Amino acid sequence: MKSTVTANANIALIKYWGKKDFDLNIPQNNSLSVTLDGLTTKTTVEFSSLYKHDELILNNILQSIEESKKLISFLNLIREKANINLFAKVISENNFPTAAGLASSSSGFAALALAGCDAAGLNLSKKELSILARKGSGSAARSIFGGFVEWAAGKIGYDESSYAMQLYDENYWPEIRVIVLVLEEGKKEVSSRSGMQSSVFTSPMYKSWLDTVNLDLISLKRALLEKDFTRIGSIAESNCLKMHSTMLTSNPPLIYWNANTLELVKYILELRKNGLEIYFTIDAGPQIKILCLEKDVLNLKKKLNSFDFINKIIDCSSGSGAFILNE
């Protein structure tokens, strides 16, 4: 009863920030993402009667019971579905910094959902896997699929109504790139889960976020259909800034950027003014993700190399959904 799975993280072009059903992890609004081939989690789950408790080894480090709490409640969902009562050993590795605003929970729970179900002998559809992954971490609902993915928010109290679906697969637009700039490798101070809850209840901007996010989604879907990079970049950038405005105006304020993030944002705007067509998006952390086209990647990377504070540059294309690696 063992399975190994790989899943990629995704980056939202239309963000998810806020839940309307906290227990079921049902979001306030639909979101849209692209799955990235350069940010990958590999997870092995083994259920066995030899294990006396659940055990998680994350990036080669054995996690405490406290650190494994989310994992254990997620395994309980799988055990319940499969009607088994065996404990599991889970070994998971990311090829990028964990919990630093690089969407590690998206690839993490997508990989865990598929590996856990496969190891438990369950054969779920992608939609069912997306519903399950959502309960580990909302953004993980999208990482079950490759390419461009929409997560339909669904209704409060209706578990089955909230799931992701693929709009276009990973081969739809090979020229589109996301350049991830890692500025800080540490764990973020405020998790997305508690940060978004605070924005929903305390930010005076939250209502405007909800009033405009659907229109952003419709416009971005149209631009994707037309492969209109200029519109995709501008909508994604402005949607990200709107999300950050709800963060900044939360009480207490949520400031996920650092000084280097701001310096790069200004630099990106400057480069764009001078004719290089690039856009940024940022999640709940200081890292920057630049949207660009393949033809500009080399030139852009050369320019970025002059910043000493950029720890890592990860060049991503649109990647595949979660899949099983077992021989």
Chain contacts with ligand DP6 (rule: CB under 6 A) = 12, 15-17, 25, 31, 103, 105, 137-139, 192-193, 283-284
Closer to ligand DP6 at the Cβ: 210 or 276?
210
- CB environment 73-93: b (16+ within 10 A), e (fewer): ebbeebbeebebebbbbbbbb
Apex 105 CA angle, 26 and 205, nearest 5: 50
Closer to ligand DP6 at the Cβ: 25 or 130?
25
Quickly count: other Cβ atoms within 10 Å of residue 206's Cβ.
Answer: 21
Residue nearest to ligand DP6 (CB): 138
Least separation in angstroms between residue 105's CB and ligand DP6 is 4
Least separation in angstroms between residue 73's CB and ligand DP6 is 13
Closer to ligand DP6 at the Cβ: 4 or 43?
43
For residue 301, which of 287, 317, 290 has the smallest C-alpha distance?
290
Residues 306 and 273: their CA atoms lie apart, in Å, by 19
E strand or H helix at 94: strand 87-94
Least separation in angstroms between residue 249's CB and ligand DP6 is 16
For residue 322, which of 95, 99, 94, 9 has the smallest C-alpha distance?
9
Least separation in angstroms between residue 247's CB and ligand DP6 is 9
Closer to ligand DP6 at the Cβ: 134 or 177?
134
For residue 9, which of 287, 304, 293, 272 has the smallest C-alpha distance?
287
Closer to ligand DP6 at the Cβ: 144 or 271?
144
Least separation in angstroms between residue 130's CB and ligand DP6 is 13
